[in-house]
Amino acid sequence: MRKFLSAVAIAAALAGPAAAADLTVGARFDPSIDPHFLYLSTNMAYAQHMFEPLVARDSDSQPIPGLAESWRALDDTTWEFKLRRGVRFHDGQEFTAADVQFTVRRVPALANNPSAYTGALRSVVSTEAPDPYTVIFRTDKPNPILPSQFTIMSIVSHKAAADATPADFASGKAAIGTGPYRFVRYARGERLELERYADYRGPAPAWDKVTFRFIPNPAARVAALLAGDVDMIDYVPTADLPRLKSDARSALFTRASDRVIYLVPNVGPDTMAGLTTKAGEALDRNPLRDARVRRALSLAINRPALVDRVMEGFAAPAGQLVPQGFFGYDPAIAVPPFDLARSRALLAEAGWPDGFGMTVACTTDRYVNDAAICQALAQMWARAGIAMKVETYPSNVFFTKVRTGKSELPMMLLGWGSSSTGDSSGALTGLLHSIDAPRGYGAYNFGAYASAEVDQKIETATTTMDAAQRLSLMQGAMRAAVEDGAIIALHTQMTAVATRKGIAYTPRADEWTMATHASPAR
């Protein structure tokens, strides 16, 4: 039954660091304002306050109309998108097909991009605009999920963003979109300020002004919320969940995420500085190239203990890159057991009976408890004979070090969310296919994994229009890659957002922190 608050209670509930029409978010991640630079879900979330994609996603990661009001396949390799009329950019320019075509050209051409958005355009060979409100996409092969792939690609103005660099977006010069909020100011390492766009095509958002304050330290974010310095925080530390749930000053909103946390063994270089004997001497070969070693490392991980002790129950053990409920999930792929004896036996069989030394690289501000996960893995692997050194980096540094095909890091902790395509195809084409930049494969294959069998299954799956056949092929590709130790899945994390009392929030499966999902509680 709805509860009614007195005027005094409402005023008290909404009192905080800003007026009722303003929202201040304590955010973990400092973004790229350029919506096409550095493929990260956090960047996509910031971008879609200011910009919009052709196809949007709801809170459950289902595709819904965005700047395109409808789409249809004209044949197996031709898609038609009908654009909304009357939409205007923040500078008053009308949105048309020219902006879509410009965006399609800009995404792959953006120089020095450490993690590009090219996966969304992998199959597109040409575009055509028969009129200002229609775009025809032609693909090299059938692509049944093209509309879903467009959910990650923000459309920019062909006038405002012409020849623009990421610095031009950070200054605000090119940060002109069609989204519900418009750019006001960005101070790197400090804040991003936005204001409501009065001529937005959709429902007006609840807040006149939104400020994202970048607070990478989780304890500091919690302290800022409880002190009333911010109205909302994202990526709540698992240790603080019970406290924030019970504190009268705050409200907690959680849901299952689609993000799987996993490890990437680097099988590319013959030798790496981070691979040594246990005495610290350089190895003359890369043990991670042997699938037996990769399987041994997986078996030495106690996933239930990792979930219980490090994630404090706020996660679920995983054995593959997509969670249950997503197209492509394979129930036949079990969560790997913890089997230390078998792990040691495989290492001995591969020629490493005494183990070896290895560096593992982790972020400090990207995934829930990321650095703590790596420290726990170091203890687990030590029991199998692996002397593990943990190196931690802020996200902006980490992702420059793991650039596709060039990483010198032996093992990397990463996460993958399947909402970008709504199925396992993004993980298959981006993470598990061998690196093939001209064809748009392996864009996020940071470990340089390559398997002709896996490649063939992926390529056939992603060009098969029949859903049943596509599912079987996708499951087969994932199964083969997991059995080969291409990646080592750990767990599926959950998403948690906390607000001050008086603000309600609807969390998303893709973990995006969206001011548009926050509103004064009723």
pLDDT tens profile 67-116: 999 999 999 999 999 999 999 999 999 999 999 999 999 999 998 887 77
Q: 3-state DSSP call for residue 70?
A: strand
More confidently predicted of 115 and 465: 465
State pLDDT tens for residues 116-133: 787 778 889 999 999 999
CA dist., res. 374 & res. 384, Å (int): 15
- State mean pLDDT over 372-392: 97
CA dist., res. 34 & res. 173, Å (int): 11
pLDDT of residue 522: 76
State pLDDT tens for residues 504-520: 999 998 999 999 999 99
Prediction pTM value: 0.81
**Could you say which DSSP state residue 141 is in?**
S
* CATH class label, 257-494: alpha beta
pLDDT of residue 4: 31
pLDDT band for 521, please (50, 70, 90 cuts): confident
The distance of Cα 125 from the centroid of its chain, to the nearest Å, equals 26
Q: What are the domain boundaries of the chain? A: 35-41+49-192, 257-494
**β-sheet bridge partners, residue 371:** none
State pLDDT tens for residues 228-256: 999 999 999 999 999 999 999 999 999 98
Tell me if 510 sits within 8 A of 419, measured CB to CB: yes
Per-residue burial over 254-283, b = 16 or more CB atoms within 10 Å of its CB, e = otherwise: eebbbbbbbbbbbbbbeebebbbeeeeeeb
Say which CATH superfamily domain 35-41+49-192 falls into: Periplasmic binding protein-like II (3.40.190.10)
